[in-house]
Amino acid sequence: MTASSKTEFYADRAVDQIENSIKIIYKVIWWIWPTVFWIYFFGLWFLPKDIQKVIGDIGSRLLAKIPVSDTILYSIAFLPFWLWMVGLLLSRAVKIVRKYFLYPKTDFTETALVSIEKKERIVHRSGRNGSYSYLLWIKHPVSQTHIKVDVESADAFEKIKEEEQVQIKHLLTPTNIIYLKVSNL
């Protein structure tokens, strides 16, 4: 049994915008979070002992007055992690809903031929050997905006050439949802 390569790919600009905004928010939090910690830590480190004791007493009195459990305080400490998880789940949920429920491929779609504007292979250095993302950039026929299409297989990516015409299914409105079909694979 031979494995046939996938010939249809999905792109959604709204999902991309959600993922990009979550990445930016996450980066900002990860810059602010450690910066505040280090400023606070070194600020306490270099204060005289008597002022450290006064600040410690004030802090312990404030914590005693706040009716918040330690569990909630510890979960706030992991806020960047929780925001990352919520963002990931939100983008996946939006993608699933838009891809499979709101805009089915066969109903209310128009077929068009568009050319591949650009091919891009991105190396992710987080893995041991480095993983890759394969992106094709096309223009939506209605809104004329550039949309990236994530191609999951390297074989399909290598067979597609720039300026090649590919078939897409899209809605007649500028929703920026595309189903790209590559026929020559």
* pLDDT tens by residue, 104-123: 666 667 888 888 999 988 88
Q: How many CB atoms lie within 10 A of CB 30?
A: 13
| Predicted local confidence at residue 105, as pLDDT | 65
Residue 149 has pLDDT above 60, yes or no: yes
Q: How many CA atoms lie within 13 A of 55 on its CB side?
A: 12
**Segment 39-58, tens digit of pLDDT:** 877 777 788 888 888 888 88
Is the pLDDT at 1 greater than 50? The verdict is no
Query: What pLDDT was estimated at residue 3?
Result: 46
Rounded Cα distance between 148 and 172, Å, is 19
Q: Which residues pair with 123 in a beta bridge?
A: 132
Return the amino acid letter for 143: S
Mean pLDDT over each residue of the chain, to the nearest integer: 80
Residue 149 neighbours by CB distance under 10 Å: 21
In percent, how much of the chain has pLDDT > 70? Answer: 89
Residue 76 has pLDDT above 60, yes or no: yes
Maximal CA-CA distance, the chain: 77
b/e sequence 103-124, b meaning 16+ C-beta within 10 Å? beeeeebeebebebeebeeeee
Q: Which of 2-16, 86-100, 109-123, 143-157 has the lowest mean pLDDT?
A: 2-16
Does position 124 have pLDDT exceeding 50, yes or no? yes
What DSSP character marks residue 47?
A: S
Exposed, middle or buried by CB within 10 Å (0-12, 13-18, 19+), for 91?
A: buried
pLDDT of residue 2: 42
Hey, what's the torsion of the CAs at 142, 148, 150, 153, to 10 degrees? 100
- pLDDT above 50 for 171: yes
